[in-house]
Chain A
Amino acid sequence: MKRFFSLLLCLLMIPGMLLLTGCHGSRSLPDFVPPEEFDESRSYTVTFWAKNDTNKTQTRIYEKAIEDFQALYPNITVNLRLYTDYSKIYNDVITNISTNTTPNVCITYPDHIATYLTGSGTVVPLDELFADPDYGLGGARLRFPSPKEDEVVPQFLGECAFAEHHYAIPFMRSTEACYVNKTFVEALGYTLPETLTWDFVWEVSEAALAKDSQGNYLVNGQKVMIPFIYKSTDNMMIQMLRQKGADYSTPEGDILLFNDTTRELLYTVAEHAATGAFSTFKISSYPGNFLNAGQCIFAVDSTAGATWMGSRAPLMDISADRVVDFETAVLPIPQFDPQTPRMISQGPSICVFNKADPQEVLASWLFAQYLLTDEVQTAYAETEGYVPVTRTAQASAEYRDYLDRCGEDDLEHYEVKIRASRLLLDHVGDTFVTPVFNGSASLRDAAGQLIENTAKSVRRKETVDDAYMDELFRDVNSLYRLGSGSTGGRKDLGPLPGTAVFLLSALVVVWILLLAYWLFDLLRKRKRENGT
């Protein structure tokens, strides 16, 4: 009997190994095919990885959404896992792709999804699900009022399409805003324009560096003043390039970041970092901390960080005795051409991971889609300077009322927060996103690193000239492996390396020899038995 099992194992192993050599670079999960009907006789568990901004209200909204959804679909249990950092979600997903233990539904960025897609068949293309008349967007058999496809803001939905499919649905959208200490700008003798220009921001920032004989800055009477602080320098570089009409990348994944316009922008950064007029979050700290302490005039951060901005901000990292009273203006980021403003569109999206069971995927899609309902959309958007991604939620009476009550209190209706949301609502047509491809997340990091390195170098009194720029481009290119030819979409990994082929072939040969020996041994014993 044991021998029979051994033989069986051998026979199973050989095709298994042959399969191993053949499946390299192909899909580990079958393509998702939407079931015709959702099987409600079965129970499903959907794991949902989400991000909150260390904001308890956001957590409660997720929890309530899950509770409400489970009441509608008692056969689906949603398990929530919360993160406070997108990069941690990204790292965990990458780790779990190899073991097929990805979550079912995940809050993420399109740039990250492009990397997830290198694990073939990992993320579900949603186009067929969108269009499904029963369970798709606005589907007839849904137990909740889902928005129709054309009720999702087209620009935001379009941001989730790459590699020829929609791989996500938008969840919330934000942009960047420049939070300005208007009181100080006017004290310096300037009037804030409707749209900031880079020239204006640099000029006022330099003017704010004047000191008295004691070494105190005249504008604030303090020893510390960093007039212009940028939180996300990757966004800074990307937006400056877009405003200038300069290259960054192609949709196919060609890296065009290292160009003459980038170089010119970095010289400007160097000039103002050298005087102390400009710094970054990575070098100094959160722009909001300096702004609220009267130590910064132009603080650029996400509209989703608006509750930290201003002297009456509901969230504060500095002690009350350090907060300075001033008027906060919320303006679009500085522009090169104020007539045609350009600003980034950002914010979380939702993707659905593929599983062996299509019914489980359908259950996941139902939950993902539930997050687009007006109730979830408006509730979450009101926690920060976010904007709902559906027209129905944006037009809802509740959301309009929320916007109209701007400044009524310093919590739910905190003026800076609602003005930050309005900024995006007024400028949806001026937003853009960068092409998404495998490697676009690294390119984004590289764009920020150029500014960080340049700013640090001039602070350290290094010479920033053409030779420096050449070396910086080389170093950053190499650090983020941008020259390695990463391209968009899924990629066939090609044939196995020779060493792997040799190793697997050797294993097969060993098993064949073992099998031959066993057969030979068996025949010899039978012959001996027959002979006796």
Chain B
Amino acid sequence: MKKTIALLLCLLLILALAAGCSGGGDKKSAGVMTYAEYAAAALDTKVVIETYVQAKQSWWDDKATVYTQDKDGAYFLYNMACSEADYAKLVPGTKIKVTGYKSEWSGEVEVVDATFEIESGKYIAKALDVTKLLGTDDLIKHQNEFVSFKGMTVEPIQDADGKDAAFLYKWNGTGSEGDDLYFNVSLNGKTYNFTVESYLCDKDSDVYKAVKALQIGDKIDLEGFLYWYEGVNPHITSVKTAK
């Protein structure tokens, strides 16, 4: 009996070690939430997370808006207190510990009123292919993550004069060069509205130029951050001809 118990304990120990070394999740410092704990936290509660910068959207008046992600999920940091000097340090991959409040604005779950400190560590997420999740309830589980969409078709979008266009400056076509770009893409008969956020990718970026060159009917692969505004509204960072 003793031998059986000892054998069982050994097996359990090996399994536990294997799980610990698998690298499947992020090991968090003391007092820091796992992504699962963050996801389960109620809105308006204080959250402490460790995460990695994936992209920066903007800095203004000592506030930074940043797309971040760890190995388990993503966190959008809105208007986080940040000096201009610290903003320069937030290069993709940088590990930061963030203390703030979980909030929701028009469906976008984000961390607001946050402060941060830079920690040692680096991680850059690979784009997760969520093409098959489009139109499903599971897509929102990947909110704010760096994702890809494969084999999408560019659909017409109506400009301010009611004419079909491949893209618009601003949501209704009232903008001009340098403003956000909006365009429609479809898959399996369903159409989705995607955005090139001009603070994230400005008019000189490759993706901005690529979207301006789109034609209705083009087949494209896209990458970007799975942002939400009254529904899914990805902030696209890359557009390429579909493979």
Size bin of chain A's contact surface: 20 to 34
Contact yes or no, A317 B44, CB < 8 A: no
A289 with B173: in contact, given A56-B160, A318-B230, A319-B231 (CB under 8 Å)?
no
How far apart are the CA atoms of A461 and B42 in the complex, in Å? 12
A56 with B230: in contact, given A285-B106, A460-B45 (CB under 8 Å)?
no
Number of chain B residues close to chain A: CB under 8 A: 22
A289 with B105: in contact, given A52-B174, A56-B160, A460-B46 (CB under 8 Å)?
no
Does A54 count as interface, using CB distance less than 8 angstroms? yes
Residues of chain A within 8 A (CB-CB) of B43 are: 459
Residues of chain B within 8 A (CB-CB) of A55 are: 174
Contact yes or no, B172 A56, CB < 8 A: yes
Does B171 count as interface, using CB distance less than 8 angstroms? yes
Instruction: Give the interface SS of chain B, mostly helix, strand, loop or mixed.
Output: loop
Does B52 count as interface, using CB distance less than 8 angstroms? no
A79-111 vs B, CB cutoff 8 Å, 1 = contact: the mask equals 000101000000000000000000000000000
How far apart are the CA atoms of A459 and B101 in the complex, in Å? 11
Does B170 count as interface, using CB distance less than 8 angstroms? yes
Contact yes or no, B160 A317, CB < 8 A: no
> CB-nearest residue of chain A relative to B104?
A284
- List A266-291 residues whose CB lies under 8 Å from chain B: 283-286, 289
Does A243 count as interface, using CB distance less than 8 angstroms? no
- List B103-126 residues whose CB lies under 8 Å from chain A: 103-106, 113
Instruction: Give the interface SS of chain A, mostly helix, strand, loop or mixed.
Output: loop
> CB-nearest residue of chain A relative to B102?
A460
How far apart are the CA atoms of A52 and B170 in the complex, in Å? 13
Residues of chain B within 8 A (CB-CB) of A289 are: 106, 230
Does A373 count as interface, using CB distance less than 8 angstroms? no
Contact yes or no, A54 B171, CB < 8 A: yes
Does A59 count as interface, using CB distance less than 8 angstroms? yes
Contact yes or no, B174 A56, CB < 8 A: yes
How far apart are the CA atoms of A319 and B170 in the complex, in Å? 17
Contact yes or no, A459 B230, CB < 8 A: no
Residues of chain B within 8 A (CB-CB) of A317 are: 229-230
How far apart are the CA atoms of A55 and B175 in the complex, in Å? 9
Residue B44 contacts which of A82, A286, A459 (CB distance < 8 angstroms)? A459
Contact yes or no, B105 A285, CB < 8 A: yes
How far apart are the CA atoms of A460 and B101 in the complex, in Å? 8
Interface Cβ pair total, 8 Å cutoff: 45
A50-84 vs B, CB cutoff 8 Å, 1 = contact: the mask equals 00101110010000000000000000000000101
Residues of chain B within 8 A (CB-CB) of A286 are: 106
A292-315 vs B, CB cutoff 8 Å, 1 = contact: the mask equals 000000000000000000000000
* Residue of A82, A285, A319 most packed against chain B (CB within 10 A): A285
How far apart are the CA atoms of A84 and B180 in the complex, in Å? 12
A449-467 vs B, CB cutoff 8 Å, 1 = contact: the mask equals 0000000100111000000
> CB-nearest residue of chain A relative to B44?
A459
How far apart are the CA atoms of A65 and B45 in the complex, in Å? 52
How far apart are the CA atoms of A55 and B174 in the complex, in Å? 6
How far apart are the CA atoms of A461 and B46 in the complex, in Å? 10
A54 with B172: in contact, given A318-B230, A460-B45 (CB under 8 Å)?
yes
- List B193-234 residues whose CB lies under 8 Å from chain A: 229-231
- List B143-169 residues whose CB lies under 8 Å from chain A: 160-161
> CB-nearest residue of chain A relative to B230?
A318
Tell me how far the C-beta of A225 lies from the nearest C-beta in chain B, rounded to whole angstroms: 14
B45-84 vs A, CB cutoff 8 Å, 1 = contact: the mask equals 1100000000000000000000000000000000000000
How far apart are the CA atoms of A322 and B174 in the complex, in Å? 25
> CB-nearest residue of chain B relative to A285?
B106
> CB-nearest residue of chain B relative to A57?
B160
How far apart are the CA atoms of A285 and B46 in the complex, in Å? 20
Tell me how far the C-beta of B69 lies from the nearest C-beta in chain A, rounded to whole angstroms: 24
B27-44 vs A, CB cutoff 8 Å, 1 = contact: the mask equals 000000000000000011
How far apart are the CA atoms of A283 and B173 in the complex, in Å? 28
Residues of chain B within 8 A (CB-CB) of A322 are: 230
Tell me how far the C-beta of A318 lies from the nearest C-beta in chain B, rounded to whole angstroms: 5
Contact yes or no, A284 B105, CB < 8 A: yes
A56 with B105: in contact, given A289-B230, A318-B230, A459-B44 (CB under 8 Å)?
no
How far apart are the CA atoms of A84 and B229 in the complex, in Å? 19
Tell me how far the C-beta of B197 lies from the nearest C-beta in chain A, rounded to whole angstroms: 15
- Using a CB–CB distance below 8 Å, which chain B residues touch chain A? 43-46, 101, 103-106, 113, 160-161, 170-176, 229-231
- Using a CB–CB distance below 8 Å, which chain A residues touch chain B? 52, 54-56, 59, 82, 84, 283-286, 289, 317-319, 322, 456, 459-461
7 A-B pairs besides A56-B161, A283-B103, A284-B106 with CB distance below 8 A are A56-B160, A56-B173, A59-B174, A84-B175, A289-B230, A318-B231, A319-B230
Could you jot down 26 A-B contacts, CB within 8 Å? A54-B170, A54-B174, A54-B175, A56-B160, A56-B161, A56-B172, A82-B176, A84-B174, A84-B175, A283-B103, A283-B105, A284-B104, A285-B106, A285-B230, A289-B106, A317-B230, A318-B230, A318-B231, A319-B230, A319-B231, A456-B44, A456-B101, A456-B113, A459-B43, A459-B44, A460-B46
